[in-house]
Structures are given as structure tokens and as C-alpha cells.
Amino acid sequence: MTTPRMMKLGAFVHETGQHVAAWRHPGAYAESGTNFAQAADVARTAERGLFDLFFLADSAAVSVFGSPESRGRMGKLVKFEPMTILSALAAVTTHLGLVATTSSTYNDPYNLARQFASLDQISGGRAGWNLVTSNNEAEAFNHGRDQHAAHADRYDMAAEFAEVVTGLWDSWDPDAFIRDQDSGVYFDPAKMHTLNHRGKYFSVRGPLNVACSPQGRPVLVQAGASDTGRDLAARTAEVVFTAQTTFEQATQFYADVMNRLPRFGRTSDEVRILPGIYPVVGRTEAEAKEKFDYLQSLIHPSVGIAVLEHTIGVGGLDKFPLHGPVPDMGDTNGPLSRQRLLLEAAQRDNLTLWELCLLNAGPRGHLLSIGTPEQIADTMEHWFRNGACDGFNVMPAWLPGSLTDFVDMVIPELQRRGLFRTAYEGRTLRENLGLPMPVSRWKSQAIGAAAD
């Protein structure tokens, strides 16, 4: 009997929630960037909802966009370092995947490979790496640079960075460690592999001093949507996180990435595409709209402008009339795909600058869905069944309430329709996502040599 295709769901978690004013909600965990108990509660809620993964948003710098007044009103300035908090959350969860956002532009591949391999061991095979090239230009100033690397250069570097990391994750065969106390043999040297990588950006000998992952390798996630980002996703990613506001955009993106896979010797079975969805759930449509409007009412104009500047990587927007047209602007060196997506929406819907700020305040260029559990499930089912996605990265507006609403109201509706699991299929992230075990490059080379 054929197993029905099921949605895959991630919980995309900012410190207090996705919305720019989330911390001002009276029920919000306003200290979750510094309070482990609050973070643990959110992770347990995601696991209660049988989410595949807990997807931690991150940036290694305080945004330099906005006025001093707007910065004083931001609720997401401080946060836990991703690997530290996810290692702690591994101890209070059992099945939930743990995905950290870490930049290839401002990190060292050996250290990153070691950190994620360690998290995978600690969690029993639940780690995932969200490979980003940094859309926050301020990160350059924290890593000894005077300016952000160019967009194309960052992606070129990222491809080699990922090659090094995955190569290091293949340093040991699964049965390399014998640990025979009687004979005194600890491991089989023939099952240790030295990478010896020398490339344009990196020279890394290896091997990694962490054993083979319980799931073969940590799952590799990628979130770029520009043309170079799509190529990187097709080449490396097992989960693709993308931002699309319409069904037509999503189907085009899905088909485009899938069509690029064969160029890199890959198939659709190896990739899951999860666009972001920003759901606002109510028992009635009116209640959902009331929840949405309340959060929108908490946005201070200076914050709305500053967050839009950060999202599209363009400063100085406060010089333009708030209720006037969105100004023309050239391509950014920051989040290029997000800039184009939002400016396209502004042009399509004839939005004013403030209306674009409001649109950006919650979804940030992702799918907005406001309504009852049935209405939100209708939208998700339509996208899922008609070639737009393999599931969604759910972006709760404020925490913990918006995630709790989704788990208590939308998850049961998806289960009723046979679209989502009623129990975890396995213990590792790879098993629950239905992804194949990766084949070590050393095994692939051996098979190729034997065929010759």
C-alpha cells in the first residue's frame, strides 16, 4: 500500500515572535532571547504539535538600520547563540528537529562542521544547518571587515563552504569505532577519511574529530531565493526555505528548483521545499482579523520603517513621505530576493510606503493567512496538493500564543484531512522528513573506482 504524502512543518522561531511588535503583546514571552525556560516552553509546544523541526532565526549583529528612537523600540536585539540554545533544547525534547541559522560568510567551515556534528550527537540525530550568506550587512563589522562581501561572491564562497562541511561530516564510516577493550583496538584506521581540501576560499585538511552522525549527516537547509541562491539550493540543500506571497510565485519557484536538481546529479526525493507561512488563527474569521489588527496597531512608525530598511537592505527610507508612493531603488547587496519580492508586491497592489511597512511587519514577504483553522488549512492544502510546496515553515506572530493557536487549532484540522502525521515516524530529523540517508563521498568514490 502506498503511504500518502504528508506535509512537513517547521516552526520558524524569532525570540518573541515573527511580528515586529510581538514583544508588546501582553501575553508575549518578551524575555525569550535571554530566558531559557521560555525558549524551552516554545520548543515543547512545537514538539507537541509534531513539527518536524524547530527553525531558529539568527543574525550575528545588531541592525544598524533605523533612527536611535526606532532602535530603542526594537524587541529582538539580544538572543542566544544558536548552537548553545539548541544544544540545551536537545535535552528537553525527544523528536523535534533542531535547525540553526549560521552564516558561511562569517564562519570557519571546520568549526561549523564540528559544532553541528556535536549537536547531532547530543540530540540523537536531530540537527540541521540553515546555510545563509548573511543578509545583515552589519555582520561584516563584527568580523574584521569594512564592508559586506558582494552578493555573487558570498554565494560562490557558500558553495565551497558547504562542500568542505559535508566532506568533513564524511570523515568517519559509521562502523569505524570498534572500542574493543580486550584487544585494545579503538578504531579502524581504514575507516577514517582525510578531506585534504584545497580550493579558492578554503584549505582544510581534516578529518573531523567528531564521529559519524546518527543520521548520516546533519540535514542541510538553505534559504536563498535569488538565481544564485536557487542554484546553491539545487546543489546542496535538503530543505529549502523560501518566501513567496502568491501561489503562482510558489509554483514557479518549486518547479524551477526541482528542474535544476538533475544538473547536480540529484532527484526530487532528496529535497523538501517549505515556503514560510504567517498564520493568524481565530475560532471565527472576525476573531482572527481582530488578532491581526491588534498586533498591527502596536507598530510604531519609526520601527515599521527601520524593519523595512533591514528587510530589503536599503537605508534612508525615513526621508520619504510615509503615506506617499514607495520610492524607486536599485538592487541591494543584502537580501536581494526579498527586496525584489516586496517591491513587486508594492507595485502590484499600488501600496504606499507605510502600507508596505505594514505588509512587512509580520510576514516579511512570506504567505499571510488570516482566518479559521479550516480557512488556513484550505490555503495550505491548495499549495501542498498543487505543486507549490512540500509543507511550510510556520512563522508564529507572537510567542507563545500564536504557536499554541496553530498547534491546538490548525494541526488537528490538517490531521483530519490526512495531510499531517498523528505521530512521529522516526527519531531522527532525516527520518521524519522522509529524506534518504546520504552516501559518503568515500563510498561513492569506491563504487566509481570498482565500476571502472
Q: Which domains does the chain have, with CATH numbers?
A: 8-290+364-451 (3.20.20.30)
Q: Is 196 left (phi over 0), alpha (psi -120 to 50) or beta?
A: left
266 and 259 Cβ atoms separated by less than 8 Å: no
**C-alpha cell, 395:** 512563522
Q: What is the pTM of this model?
A: 0.90
Residue stretches of the chain with pLDDT short of 50: 447, 450-452
The whole-number pLDDT of residue 336 equals 65
Within 10 A of 340 (CB to CB), how many other CB atoms are there?
16
Confidence at residue 450, expressed as pLDDT on a 0 to 100 scale: 47
- Which pLDDT score, from 0 to 100, does residue 103 have? 84
For residue 451, the model assigns a pLDDT of: 47
Q: What does the pLDDT read at residue 445?
A: 65
Q: Cβ neighbours of residue 187 under 8 Å, at least 6 residues apart?
A: 176, 177, 178, 179
